[in-house]
Structure formats: structure tokens, C-alpha cells
């Protein structure tokens, strides 16, 4: 009977070791996100404390805390969009480097194109008006009745010289 208890305790010990090894291997630590991963997301955001400075290059303590928070969220398995949504919920759309394409923010994308096309149209009209007309006497070699008499004499002298 002593031998049976011994084998039973060895069997339980081995089973326990395998169970512990299984739990430990199932809880493998995920690697900590690199600075590049954090800066990739931080570069797409602005700190509300600093005016127009991306989060990845700002040296304020608030920005450092935000980058640490981004690192924690990445380590927890959050996606880039989830992290941005979290910061937008906390601080508003102003934290995003690129405004979301909804509501009046569409104007940011539409107005530059509209102004460019309007400018091209205006230049087209101006250049079209500057083009000489078919009956314009100053360009077709004809004489203009409103021309200065001195210019008429110079033109006459040039014509005689060419002959």
C-alpha cells in the first residue's frame, strides 16, 4: 500500500507540473510595443496642450503620458482606430492630425479643390480675352486710323527700307 501511495503522489506531482506548465505557457507575455509602433499612432495626433505640435515630437509631460498610454493600449491589444477613438472621446476631434470626414469637416477636403478649379477657370477666361481677335488691325499688319503720325512715318520708313 505504501508503494501505491508513492506512485499516486508521483502521478499527482507530474500531473500538477504539466498543468502549471500549461498555464504558464498559455500566459506568455506579449512583447512590449516598440517606440516606432507608438510614434506611428502618436504622429497622427496632436496634444491639446501644445498648439499644432504632433504628439510624437512634443516634449511636454502631458505628451509623454499620452505616449505611455498609447503603449499600454497597444500592449493590451487595442488597434490604432480604437486608440484614436478613445482619445477623440476624451478630448474631441482636435487631437487628430487629419480631421474625420464627416459634417463640416468635409469642407477641409472640398474647398481646396473647388478654389483650384475656380482659379483655373478664371485664368482660362483671362487668357481667352487677351488673345488677339481675328479683325484686330494692330496684329494683322493693317493700318490703324488712330495711330500716331510719328508712328506712321516710322512704319513708312521701315517699309521703304525693306524694298
In whole angstroms, give the CA distance from residue 8 to residue 15: 10
DSSP state of 93: G
- What are the b/e assignments for 42-64, b being 16+ CB within 10 Å? bebbbbbeeeeebbbebeeeebe
pLDDT(107) > 70 = yes
Write the pLDDT tens digit of every residue in 43-68: 888 877 777 788 888 888 888 888 89
How far is Cα 85 from Cα 47, in angstroms, rounded to an integer? 15
Per-residue confidence (pLDDT) for residue 124, from 0 to 100: 93
Tell me, which fold does domain 35-98 have in CATH? Helicase, Ruva Protein; domain 3 (1.10.8)
- More confident position, 121 or 151: 121
Task: Tell if the pTM clears 0.75, that is, is over it.
Answer: no
What are the residue ranges spanned by the domains of the chain?
Answer: 35-98, 101-133
Amino acid at each position: 500500500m505504501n508503494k501505491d501511495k508513492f506512485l499516486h503522489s508521483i502521478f499527482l506531482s507530474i500531473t500538477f507540473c504539466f498543468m502549471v506548465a500549461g498555464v504558464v505557457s498559455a500566459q506568455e507575455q506579449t512583447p512590449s510595443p516598440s517606440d516606432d509602433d507608438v510614434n506611428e499612432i502618436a504622429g497622427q495626433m496632436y496634444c491639446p496642450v501644445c498648439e499644432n505640435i504632433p504628439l510624437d515630437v512634443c516634449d511636454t509631460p502631458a505628451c509623454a503620458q499620452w505616449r505611455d498610454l498609447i503603449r499600454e493600449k497597444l500592449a493590451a491589444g487595442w488597434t490604432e482606430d480604437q486608440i484614436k477613438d478613445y482619445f477623440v472621446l476624451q478630448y474631441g476631434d482636435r487631437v487628430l492630425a487629419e480631421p474625420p470626414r464627416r459634417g463640416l469637416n468635409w469642407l477641409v477636403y472640398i474647398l481646396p479643390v473647388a478654389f483650384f478649379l475656380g482659379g483655373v477657370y478664371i485664368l482660362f477666361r483671362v487668357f481667352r480675352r487677351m488673345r488677339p481677335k481675328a479683325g484686330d488691325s494692330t496684329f494683322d499688319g493693317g493700318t490703324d486710323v488712330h495711330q500716331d503720325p510719328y508712328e506712321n512715318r516710322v512704319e513708312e520708313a521701315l517699309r521703304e527700307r525693306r524694298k
